[in-house]
Homo-oligomer: A and B are copies of this chain.
Amino acid sequence: MVAVKRNTWQREAVREALDSRDGFVSAQGLHQGLRDAGSPIGLATVYRALADLATVGEADSLQSPEGESLYRACATTGHHHHLICRSCGLTVEIEATEVEQWAKRTASDHGFTEAQHIVDIFGLCHQCASAKA
Protein backbone atom coordinates (compact mmCIF):
# COMPACT_ATOMS: atom_id res chain seq x y z
CA MET A 1 0.00 0.00 0.00
CA VAL A 2 1.20 3.45 -0.79
CA ALA A 3 1.86 5.76 2.10
CA VAL A 4 -1.14 7.97 2.71
CA LYS A 5 -0.90 11.35 4.38
CA ARG A 6 -3.37 11.57 7.16
CA ASN A 7 -4.98 14.76 8.30
CA THR A 8 -4.58 15.10 12.00
CA TRP A 9 -5.63 18.04 14.08
CA GLN A 10 -2.02 18.34 15.23
CA ARG A 11 -0.70 18.86 11.74
CA GLU A 12 -3.39 21.42 11.11
CA ALA A 13 -2.62 23.15 14.39
CA VAL A 14 1.02 23.52 13.45
CA ARG A 15 0.13 24.84 10.03
CA GLU A 16 -2.23 27.41 11.51
CA ALA A 17 0.15 28.43 14.25
CA LEU A 18 2.80 28.98 11.64
CA ASP A 19 0.46 30.99 9.45
CA SER A 20 -0.44 33.23 12.34
CA ARG A 21 3.14 34.29 12.80
CA ASP A 22 4.65 37.16 10.87
CA GLY A 23 8.25 36.06 10.92
CA PHE A 24 10.41 33.04 11.43
CA VAL A 25 9.84 30.87 14.48
CA SER A 26 11.80 28.07 16.04
CA ALA A 27 10.21 24.66 16.44
CA GLN A 28 10.41 24.99 20.18
CA GLY A 29 8.97 28.47 20.09
CA LEU A 30 6.04 27.29 18.05
CA HIS A 31 5.53 24.35 20.37
CA GLN A 32 5.59 26.63 23.37
CA GLY A 33 3.05 28.89 21.71
CA LEU A 34 0.74 25.98 21.02
CA ARG A 35 1.04 24.71 24.57
CA ASP A 36 0.35 28.18 25.91
CA ALA A 37 -2.74 28.25 23.73
CA GLY A 38 -3.94 25.14 25.49
CA SER A 39 -2.94 22.53 22.94
CA PRO A 40 -1.54 19.29 24.36
CA ILE A 41 0.51 18.72 21.23
CA GLY A 42 3.87 17.03 21.63
CA LEU A 43 7.20 18.55 20.79
CA ALA A 44 8.22 15.70 18.54
CA THR A 45 5.07 16.14 16.53
CA VAL A 46 5.77 19.82 16.01
CA TYR A 47 9.22 18.96 14.70
CA ARG A 48 7.75 16.34 12.38
CA ALA A 49 4.99 18.61 11.14
CA LEU A 50 7.43 21.41 10.45
CA ALA A 51 9.80 19.09 8.64
CA ASP A 52 6.92 17.84 6.53
CA LEU A 53 5.72 21.32 5.73
CA ALA A 54 9.23 22.29 4.75
CA THR A 55 9.59 19.23 2.55
CA VAL A 56 6.31 19.82 0.77
CA GLY A 57 7.25 23.45 0.32
CA GLU A 58 4.53 24.94 2.48
CA ALA A 59 7.09 26.27 4.89
CA ASP A 60 10.52 27.73 4.50
CA SER A 61 13.32 27.10 6.89
CA LEU A 62 16.59 28.76 7.62
CA GLN A 63 19.09 28.78 10.40
CA SER A 64 19.41 31.56 12.88
CA PRO A 65 22.93 32.81 13.48
CA GLU A 66 22.81 30.81 16.70
CA GLY A 67 22.25 27.57 14.85
CA GLU A 68 18.56 27.08 15.49
CA SER A 69 16.28 26.07 12.67
CA LEU A 70 13.60 28.63 12.06
CA TYR A 71 10.41 28.10 10.10
CA ARG A 72 7.94 30.30 8.34
CA ALA A 73 4.82 29.84 6.27
CA CYS A 74 5.65 31.32 2.93
CA ALA A 75 3.03 32.66 0.57
CA THR A 76 5.09 31.96 -2.48
CA THR A 77 5.17 28.28 -3.30
CA GLY A 78 8.25 28.35 -5.46
CA HIS A 79 11.87 28.83 -4.53
CA HIS A 80 12.60 32.22 -3.04
CA HIS A 81 14.72 34.06 -0.54
CA HIS A 82 14.13 36.37 2.36
CA LEU A 83 14.69 39.89 3.46
CA ILE A 84 14.49 39.90 7.22
CA CYS A 85 14.39 42.71 9.71
CA ARG A 86 16.87 41.78 12.38
CA SER A 87 15.04 43.90 14.88
CA CYS A 88 11.36 42.96 14.59
CA GLY A 89 11.62 39.84 12.44
CA LEU A 90 9.46 41.25 9.66
CA THR A 91 10.08 39.11 6.62
CA VAL A 92 9.70 39.89 2.95
CA GLU A 93 9.76 37.12 0.41
CA ILE A 94 12.02 37.75 -2.53
CA GLU A 95 12.12 36.50 -6.07
CA ALA A 96 15.64 36.48 -7.35
CA THR A 97 15.89 34.79 -10.68
CA GLU A 98 18.98 36.86 -11.20
CA VAL A 99 20.75 35.42 -8.19
CA GLU A 100 19.41 31.98 -8.93
CA GLN A 101 21.18 31.94 -12.24
CA TRP A 102 24.31 33.50 -10.83
CA ALA A 103 24.52 30.75 -8.21
CA LYS A 104 24.03 28.00 -10.73
CA ARG A 105 26.51 29.51 -13.14
CA THR A 106 29.12 30.14 -10.46
CA ALA A 107 28.84 26.61 -9.18
CA SER A 108 29.21 24.97 -12.58
CA ASP A 109 31.99 27.37 -13.52
CA HIS A 110 34.00 25.83 -10.74
CA GLY A 111 32.98 22.26 -11.45
CA PHE A 112 30.52 22.03 -8.60
CA THR A 113 27.33 20.03 -8.86
CA GLU A 114 24.23 19.55 -6.75
CA ALA A 115 24.49 23.16 -5.76
CA GLN A 116 22.21 24.66 -3.20
CA HIS A 117 22.59 28.19 -2.02
CA ILE A 118 21.91 30.17 1.07
CA VAL A 119 20.90 33.70 0.23
CA ASP A 120 19.28 35.88 2.82
CA ILE A 121 19.42 39.56 3.56
CA PHE A 122 19.23 40.90 7.07
CA GLY A 123 18.59 44.56 7.71
CA LEU A 124 16.42 47.05 9.48
CA CYS A 125 12.95 47.66 8.13
CA HIS A 126 11.68 51.20 7.75
CA GLN A 127 9.74 51.13 11.00
CA CYS A 128 12.59 49.81 13.12
CA ALA A 129 15.03 52.22 11.52
CA SER A 130 12.74 55.11 12.42
CA ALA A 131 12.14 53.86 15.92
CA LYS A 132 15.84 53.56 16.44
CA ALA A 133 16.61 57.11 15.34
Point out residues on A near B: beta carbons under 8 Å: 63, 65, 67, 69, 83, 85, 92, 94, 96, 98-99, 102-103, 106-107, 110-126, 129
Contacts and interface: CB of A to CB of B under 8 A. Distances in A.
Contacts of A113: 123-124, 126, 129
Given A69-B67, A98-B102, A102-B96, A122 B115 contact: yes
A103 B121 contact: yes
A122 B116 CA distance: 5
A116 B96 CA distance: 16
A118 B65 contact: yes
A123 B63 CA distance: 18
A99 B69 CA distance: 25
